[in-house]
Every structure is written in structure tokens, then in C-alpha cells.
Structure 1
């Protein structure tokens, strides 16, 4: 599956989302992401790409779309803070290398939030991590622990413009900080391979 077909699948799923259960949405996104991330042509593109820094986020579809397909490059040792996904449904897979995902649940809510680790998962090409609005499938961090670059593909069925990061405070709790989602490049999908992929 090439990037155009992936974007078309996400667009079609978005337009039909009202008729689908969350699990049906995850199944559709997972199938498309598995095809996309196991394509040798797409993996070759990721291997040849020259990221602009230790962390590079590329929007593959139009910024005007109501959904997002994002390609993220992670330098060795680079990770994200704990963050949510603004209640969108989505899915993540790896295009190159592997990243570790740790999901968290919220134990208490107030000025400070207590989080508990609920699962760890290795995201690799063809392995999907779902994003669902429930706490234990919404909050996560990701990190590339390998000594080489990794690339992941994130699909958000509802475009994320603002989300929350969770910052540690003394005593082991966390406070939330609202953050804008930014991209290093837009509509990069036009430079990715299109047409039949292996």
C-alpha cells in the first residue's frame, strides 16, 4: 500500500465513522497501517530520509483534512513525554526500527494527576498500537531505545491541534500542560513512493 492509498483509507474510514464501532475503526486502520508499514518501498523511503533533527514530525496528508496521517522519525534514545491524544481514535505502527510504547492509566484527577503504568508494547513494522479514548489506551509515551533511527506512522481519525502533556511534579504526581501539535513539514506524502508497492 502506498501513501495515497493509506490516506484514502483513512479518509473513507473518517467519512463512515458514525456507522462503525470503535473496534471496527481500529480494525480498518490497523489493516491499512500493516500493509503500509510492511511495504519494502515505504521502508526504503524511511531509511533514506534525512531527518532535520533528533525528532522530526511530518504530516503526510493535507493540513485541511479532518484527520491526520503523521510520519515521525526518532533519533537513538529520543522519546516523547507522556501525552494524550485529545480523545481521538487512532493507531500507530513502525515503518523502520522499533519503538517502545508505555501506556498509562489515570488513578486520580485534580490539580495533580496520579498515573499508573498499565502496559508496555514494542511497536515494529506490522505491529499496531491502538489509540482509544479510554484512559488506559489514550495516555502513552514512546521511546526509541535502539542505537539507530526509528520511524513510526500515526493515524488520528480526528485531527489533533491541541493535546496535553503530563509533567512530573514533586511527590510522584503529574500536572498537565496543554500543547499545540506542530509539524516540521506538511504534505510530504507527495514525495513518498506512490503506485504499487511491495
Structure 2
């Protein structure tokens, strides 16, 4: 009986994080919104690069059933997850990363005073993302964004 081992998504991010000069899309920073570019697609995953100026971040969201990981290439990002009806922050400096499952809900932001860069890997490729509001101790759906429409 053969047993297929899934690749570690954080390990898939590492070579991309190590070589931003080799990315197919040159890194840039957008003063209005986070910049992002898809770097690669595989049979069962995709790789994205994101840049974050101070103050830029995401809404509270999931990844539409995709598992994922992200690795901070430069700067410091703060990830907040829901725990006990509150958001709990976790600072992630350059070189650190985070793996998450298909049901993970979080927000990510640059709360530091220097730009940040990160590499994200999703399996399967992102098809949708649900954004949430946290109120009264409950997550409530704000909207659902579809690939090819919202990004």
C-alpha cells in the first residue's frame, strides 16, 4: 500500500523567500494597498509574494478551504487569530513562519514602522476567501471574495 506524504507548505515557501531577486514579478510596495503577485503554481499548490507597508493589513478571513503557510521574508508581521471570542496577536519577525489548516481564520498586518515582505503557499490553490467580523463573541460572515473577480 502506498501512502502519499503531503509536502510541508512552509518548506515550499523557503526557497522563494530566500531569493526575492529571482521572483518572476519584481517586488514592489504600493502606498495605497498591499501588493501581491502569484509567483508559481504547482499541481496541488500555489505560491504568492506580498509586500506590506506600515499600517497595511488584511481583514479577518479564511482561505476558502485551502491549507497554507506563510514565511516572513523581511520586516515584522502580526497575525491575529480568534481565541475565546477575542483576537490574540502573535508577532512574526523575518525568518519566522506559520502553518495553518483549511479552517484557519486570521488577520495579518504590518504594525511595525518598517516595510515587510512575506511568501505564502496555499494547497489547493485559492478559489475563494471569506471575510468575517468578530462581534458579540461570534464570527459573522462579511463577504465572500472569488478568485478571478476580487483578486
| TM-score using structure 1 length | 0.60
> How many Å apart are 1:163 and its aligned residue?
1.5
> Which is helix-richer, 1 or 2?
1
Residue of 24, 29, 49 corresponding to 2:9: 29
Give yes or no for contact 2:48–2:120 (8 Å, CA) kept in 1. yes
Q: Structure 1: any 5+ residue segments left out of the alignment?
A: 1-17, 108-114, 184-198
Give yes or no for contact 2:14–2:71 (8 Å, CA) kept in 1. yes
Residue of 108, 127, 137 corresponding to 1:142: 108
> Which is strand-richer, 1 or 2?
2
Instruction: Find out whether 1:87 has 2:65 as its counterpart.
Output: yes
| SS of aligned partner of 2:124 | coil
Aligned counterpart, 1:187: none
| SS of aligned partner of 1:33 | helix
Residue of 74, 78, 94 corresponding to 1:96: 74
> How many Å apart are 1:59 and its aligned residue?
0.7
Aligned counterpart, 1:175: 140
Give me the whole-angstrom Cα distance separating, in 2, the residues matched to 1:68 and 1:44.
16
Give me the whole-angstrom Cα distance separating, in 2, the residues matched to 1:44 and 1:167.
37
> How many Å apart are 1:149 and its aligned residue?
1.4
Give yes or no for contact 2:13–2:47 (8 Å, CA) kept in 1. no
Instruction: For residues 76-114 of structure 1, give each alpha carbon's deviation from its aligned partner in whole angstroms, at most 9, with x where no partner exists.
Output: 111110000112121111111110001125x7xxxxxxx
Q: Structure 2: any 5+ residue segments left out of the alignment?
A: none
> How many Å apart are 1:57 and its aligned residue?
1.2
| SS of aligned partner of 1:60 | strand
| SS of aligned partner of 1:146 | coil
> How many Å apart are 1:168 and its aligned residue?
4.7
Say which one has the larger Rg.
Answer: 1
Closer/same/farther in 2, CA of residues 34 and 126 from structure 1, 3 Å limit: farther
Give me the whole-angstrom Cα distance separating, in 2, the residues matched to 1:87 and 1:66.
13
Matches within 5 A, 1:15-94: 19-20=4-5, 25=7, 28-37=8-17, 39=18, 41-42=19-20, 49-52=27-30, 53-62=32-41, 66-94=44-72
> How many Å apart are 1:174 and its aligned residue?
4.1
